[in-house]
Amino acid sequence: MNVFNLTNSYKRNFWKDPTLLSLVAVNLYLAWYAISSGLNNNTLIWLYWYQSVLIGIFNFLRILTLRQFSTKNFRGMNSNTDDAPTVRTKIGTAFFFLAHYGFFHLVYFIFLSVADKTSVDWVFVKNGAQLFLVNSAFTFLIQKVRDYRNTPNIGEMMFFPYIRIVPIHLSIIFGGFFPGLGTLVFIILKSVADVAAHYIDLRLQEKEGNLTDKVNKLSARLRKLDT
């Protein structure tokens, strides 16, 4: 299987994707350690907050370093036409995402900072954040190769990371109302959200790859007709 080229048959090999396998492996290890060590929900929330921040940073860099991209159905306020796929659009979108996504996480940071931090295992948070950093960097490098070969939609790329915010919301709610189930529920919700977000990203890349292949084949046929 070519991990840099997504086609229709790729969705049957979703579970063989190296970026997904590395993500699942990190989640399973951290979940096992957290449960076996009896870590509380506050520790996990801080760890996954750091992971969510890393996802935002690498998504910002991914948008900012796009070589080519589509703006289909991507429009500014009070506009009836798609934005042009220009450098200005790319830079503006990247920094808008950074500000908007960053604001959400700043609010979470303030909320977590006023909560009880004495029970947080900061060594576990630090080690876990480093593992997520390695996983995020690995995923970013493979995504960049795929982006280079395809024509990703910049609007879809900007919005998909927000699924990461959902488990944090739910974990706070469940952790507050059901403290006995908080940690287990949080781990399950967060892991499902991770896999779901990764699946969405791969399906988007698959769609972009198929479209690029069709355009290349059409271009090749037109060149043959010209000759």
Whether the Cβ atoms of residue 52 and residue 197 lie closer than 8 Å to each other: no
Residue 25 lies in a domain: no
**What is the value of pTM for the model shown?**
0.79
**pLDDT above 50: residue 169:** yes
3-state class (DSSP) for residue 199: helix
Q: What is the mean pLDDT of residues 212-225?
A: 44
Would 172 be classed as within a structural domain? Answer: yes
Residue 16 located in a structural domain? no
In a domain, 70, yes or no: yes
Q: Determine how many CB atoms are found less than 10 A away from the CB of residue 150.
A: 25
Residue 227: DSSP 8-state: -
> In sequence order, what E strands does 45-174 have?
none
Q: Tell me, what's the pLDDT at 96?
A: 94
What integer best gives the mean pLDDT of the chain? 78
Per the domain annotation, does 75 fall within a domain? yes
Range of lowest pLDDT (96-110, 138-152, 198-212): 198-212
Has residue 209 been placed in a domain? yes
Mean pLDDT of 138-143: 90
pLDDT tens-digit map of 29-80: 888 888 888 887 788 888 888 988 999 999 999 999 998 888 888 876 666 7
- Its domain, for residue 120, covers 42-226
For residue 126, pLDDT over 70 is answered with: yes
Examine residue 37 and state whether it is found in any structural domain, yes or no: no
| Residue 3 domain flag | no
* pLDDT of 188: 77
CB atoms within 10 A of CB 152: 25
Alpha-carbon distances, residue 50 vs 27, 102, 105, 130, 141 (angstroms): 14, 12, 9, 10, 20
Structural domains of the chain, count: 1
Residues 152-175, mean pLDDT to the nearest whole number: 75
